[in-house]
Every structure is written in C-alpha cells, then in structure tokens.
Structure 1
C-alpha cells in the first residue's frame, strides 16, 4: 500500500528541514530533495557538528562534574552557591545527552535509538540549554542586587530563597520543553537507511504549532533573559567603574561573562528568528544547516561556565588542589563563593 501526502508548494515548514510525508505499509516516511539530502550528508553535518559536540563533552563533563562536587561538598551554602550548583547540574544534564547526538551525526544523520529516546534527547537538549540561560539570568540579578543594592537585598537574598527560585526555573524549563515530548520527532527517510531525529519534520503538519512554540521559547527563554542580564551587568559595571581601579579585575570578569553569553547564545537564536521571518527559509529550510552549526556552538557555553564562574576563583582552585594534590594537609576552612556570585582573583577583590 502506497500513500503519498504532498502538501502544496506554498505551505511553509516548521522549524526544521521540510519533508513530504509518504506512507508505505502503514509506515510514514519523509521525502526530501536531493540537494537537501546532500546537505545532511555533508562534511559540516556528519563531521564538524559531531566533532564540536565531542569537544564540548570531553571538556564540559569533567569540568562541570568537578565544579558541582566542590560546590556541593566544600562550599559554604550561600545564595550564590545554590545558583552555581544548579547551573553546573543543568550543564551536566545537557552534556549527558550529547553522546546520543554525536553518534547520530557520525552515523550520517541516522537515529538508531528509537522514537522515545529521540523525544527525550531533544527535550533535554533544549530544556537544559534554556534552563542554563534562566539560571545565568538569576546569577546576574543576584550579582546586581549584591553590588548595587546590598543593604536592600540582604533580607531576602538567602539560600532558601535561591533554592525556591531554582525549583521554579526547573519547572519552567520542563513546561517549555513539554511540547517536544508530546510530538513525534523521528521519521525514517524515504529510500534511505536513515532515521532522522528532529532535523526533518513534515511540511504540512503542526506549522502553526511549531511557529508559536519556538517564537515563545525564544522570547521567554532568551530575549527577555538577555535584556535582564544586559541591564544587570551594565549596572554592575557602572557601579564598579564608580569605585575606581580597585575593582579592575572584577570588571574584566563581568565583561567576560557578558561576552560569553552574547557570543554563544545569540547566533542560534538570531538564525531561528531569521528562519521565521523569511518566507523562503520556511519554505525550503535553507538556513537549517547553519542553524545546526550555531546550535552546536551554543553548547560551548556549558564548557565556558565552569571556567568563568568557578575556576577563575583562587579559593576554588586552592580547594581543588588541596583535595587532589595535597591530601596530607587538612583544612577546616570552607570554600566561599563570592557573595555577588562573581569569582574573585583573591579576597581583596571582593565587591561586598
């Protein structure tokens, strides 16, 4: 039995490469143009992208794992510590699904793990990525309150309040990615041995659904947090500049944090917006390969977080050295993260 469900050419595609549905013996396949298939099998897709994910996995897994262990077992439980622990956990969860994507791309865009794991991997990937963005936003607000309004915020900047905030963020991330769990994400490719996961979707199915979903995701989990972070960090930089050279090191770190956020997360979200604003892009999905590369680059933020927020701290490095390289010297001093969640070069650089 052969059934071909062809959508009109004018029908736009959801956030993916467009495919036409073909049903053979009750199995639904997707048909894509040869040019698009060659793009999916290009060196960029089957070599560059999985190599980028492999690098993120090899660097991010040990660095975030060690950071989470030190924060959980050796750090004083301050507001900043709670946010940083959750950030490390979100980065680790994102990194944990990368091996599936690595195998998928190295196998030539072939998903051998089943529909259920495709949905879970896709949801975990986007959910923890945007969860990290929301946690970084909370860290920036916490820093802003500690530096700009230290006395006003002292009463409610508590570890308990930070824990409640993190719980709300995790629930929000789960709600934002729930639609990815509820929708079919993997389809076999017609006349090929490939099963695609999330990268090719039916042209005439759930166009409006995905349009509103990803626009909402970008607005709520990237654009709004970015505005808040820009305001917070610019306010922090202004406050530091008013205090002169004493805080030169902290100003450099604040600028570095802001730079990494914009550099890693902006390209993929901008390409996604361009995809939806261009009728030709929605029709043919010609920006999607570039989007896939930018999405891989955005995961490098999970590698940068430990070094920007943890390992630049002299206290943090000292605690790691004592734990792994100096067992004979015992210490009862607890590791303190900066009260404004900004890692410091030394204690003299504390802002509050």
Structure 2
C-alpha cells in the first residue's frame, strides 16, 4: 500500500505540532506558516464564497430548469461553498500559531466541513462521470437513468453519505491543552487510523476507479463519433469539455493531497529520517493540502471560462435584469422631466 494516511483533519494535528516545535527545534518549518498561510487561506475563502454563490445564483435564478449535469455541478458548488465558509476559522487558527480559540463546537464543525467536502466532491464528480458515460456510451438508457428526479435523489444520497462518513471525525475531535496552547486534535488514534483508511478506500481508490473507467470510455466514444460530421463533433465537444476540465482540475488538486503521506510512511520505515527530508516532507504536506483547498475556487472559474452553456445562462440573466431595470429607469426619468416642466 503506497498511501498510508489521507485524512485532512489529521493534518491539522501535524501542523499544530510543527508550530509547537518551531521555537524549540531547528529541524522545523519557518514562520511562513503563521504569516503567508493564513493570508492564502483567507484569500481562497473569500474568493470561494463569492464565486460559488455566484454559480449557485445563476443555476437557481435562471428560468430554465437545470439539466442533470447542471444539478450535479450546482451540488458540487454547494459542497465547495460549505468548505470555504469554514476556512476562515482555520486561517485565524494558523495566524494564532494553532492555538484554537473558537471552542469545541467549531473545532468539530470545521473538520467535518473539510471531510464532507472530500467525500461529496469526489462523489458528485462520480455522478457527473456516470451521467456523461450514459449519455455518450449508452444513449438508449438516458430516459431511465438520466432524469432530473433521479439526479436530485442521487445528490441527496451523496450528502447523507458524506455526513455519515464524517461522524467518526466529529466524535473524535477534542480540545487538548499542551504548553498553554489549546489544539483541536484527535482523541483516539484507533478512530483516526480507521478514518484514514476509509478516506483512502471510499474517498479515493473506488471513486477514482469509477471516474477513470467512465472517462476512458467517454474518450473512446468521442473518437468513434469523430466521423459523424462537424456539427456532431461540435455538440459533443460543448457537452463534455466542461466536465473533463472539472475532472482534470480535481485530479491535479487532490491527487497530490492523497499522496502527501508517502514520505511519512517512508519516515516511519526508517527512510528519509534526516532533517532536510523532514522539512521537505512537512513543506510538501502543507502545500498539497492548500492546493486541494484551491480546487473549491478553481471550479467556478472553470464554469465561466470553459462552460459555454453556463456563460449563456449568465448572459440571459443579465439581459433579463437589464430588461427589468430599463423600463423602471425610463419611467423615473420621464417623471423627473415632467416635474421640471410642470413644477408644482
């Protein structure tokens, strides 16, 4: 097994330990953890909140009902919004040198929000991949499997699954006082190892295998249809470019996060135990974690840049709002002119 630990909340504990060792151990990270990291987390939190709310408002306010793919993408945006809404607490915690000041309730909620995003995001992408797979590889099954009602039920199941799988983390998070620093840490190492194994299997290997299978068959189907004409190729391209872009962005942001514990495993095996290796290990572990957070900001940007249908919806909404505001402004202007020419 190449991976050992994939628990994001567990990384909070390791970061806290790194912060605690900064003043007493030369083999530790510099103080950039307490300066640049909080600024970065706060930035992606603000951007993520604004952009994901924008995406959700477009899907909600548009007069046309969402397609199956858009239902999945809107739920993915909701999962990203759920994550970035709790990140400011982590930013303040890092700025405060990992001295947790928000109480036990938020200690649990922040970590649950992170873990739920890990599960929900990947399984919404699984649903998106399956939807595209059915649409292109098995189009005859669209009437049965690719219905908005089925998509909504599937999203509810994913949210419930993410919540259930996050319960052990909610139970195991405790406030621990050490050297006048209150840390939000794991209470039971056994529960921690179980959670890490669950994330590795249920949150990485199984969903990635499904996505890989669907994506390979989608690409094969698109290649086989390349002889159907320019219009068919163009329509297929429009329908799948955004989905493939979101999948690629997820892999770029999250695969390094799941691989970040490989150096830790080597360290426990007696390899890479020197000071330089430990510094690189800690540095990469944190960078990969924050790269995973950036995925929640990258998704809505991809909707605007790559999603042609999404841009079309945005333009239609702006035209609708402009149409509503123009008569109102014209009426006010006319009343102003009348009041000038006919003063009371």
Offset at 1:304? 1.6
CA distance in 2, matches of 1:141, 1:65: 26
Give yes or no for the alignment of 1:53 onto 2:52: no
Aligned residues: 300
The structure whose Rg is larger is 2
Cα 1:145/1:273, change in 2 over 3 Å? farther
Give yes or no for the alignment of 1:151 onto 2:148: no
Give yes or no for the alignment of 1:207 onto 2:189: yes
Tell me the secondary structure at the aligned position of residue 109 of structure 1: coil
CA distance in 1, matches of 2:265, 2:215: 30
Q: Give the TM-score normalised by structure 1.
A: 0.74
Q: Which runs of 5+ in 1 are unaligned?
A: 1-13, 21-30, 331-352
Give yes or no for the alignment of 1:272 onto 2:261: yes
Quote the RMSD (CA, aligned, Å).
3.2
Offset at 1:243? 2.2
Farther-moved stretch of structure 1 (172-181 vs 300-309): 300-309
CA distance in 1, matches of 2:154, 2:282: 34
2:160 to 145, 167, 171: 171
Is the contact made by 1:211 and 1:276 (CA closer than 8 Å) also made in structure 2? no
Q: Tell me what 1:335 maps to.
A: none
CA distance in 2, matches of 1:277, 1:206: 23
Offset at 1:91? 0.8
| Residues 194-239 of structure 1: CA deviation (Å, up to 9, x unaligned) | 32223xx5xxx63333112201112101221111111111211221
CA distance in 1, matches of 2:110, 2:321: 40
CA distance in 1, matches of 2:189, 2:199: 15
Cα 1:278/1:98, change in 2 over 3 Å? same
Offset at 1:316? 2.4
Q: Tell me what 2:221 maps to.
A: 239
Cα 1:311/1:134, change in 2 over 3 Å? same
Is the contact made by 1:39 and 1:45 (CA closer than 8 Å) also made in structure 2? no
Where do 1:42-81 residues align within 5 Å? Answer: 42-74=30-62, 75-81=64-70
Tell me the secondary structure at the aligned position of residue 304 of structure 1: helix
Tell me the secondary structure at the aligned position of residue 303 of structure 1: helix
Is the contact made by 1:52 and 1:297 (CA closer than 8 Å) also made in structure 2? no
CA distance in 2, matches of 1:307, 1:58: 14
Cα 1:297/1:304, change in 2 over 3 Å? same
Offset at 1:307? 2.7
Tell me the secondary structure at the aligned position of residue 176 of structure 2: strand
Tell me the secondary structure at the aligned position of residue 35 of structure 2: helix
Is the contact made by 2:16 and 2:97 (CA closer than 8 Å) also made in structure 1? no
Kindly report structure 1 stretches of 4+ aligned residues shifted beyond 4 Å.
31-38, 247-255
1:95 to 84, 95, 98: 84
Is the contact made by 1:49 and 1:293 (CA closer than 8 Å) also made in structure 2? no
2:182 to 187, 195, 200: 195
Q: Which runs of 5+ in 2 are unaligned?
A: 1-9, 325-344
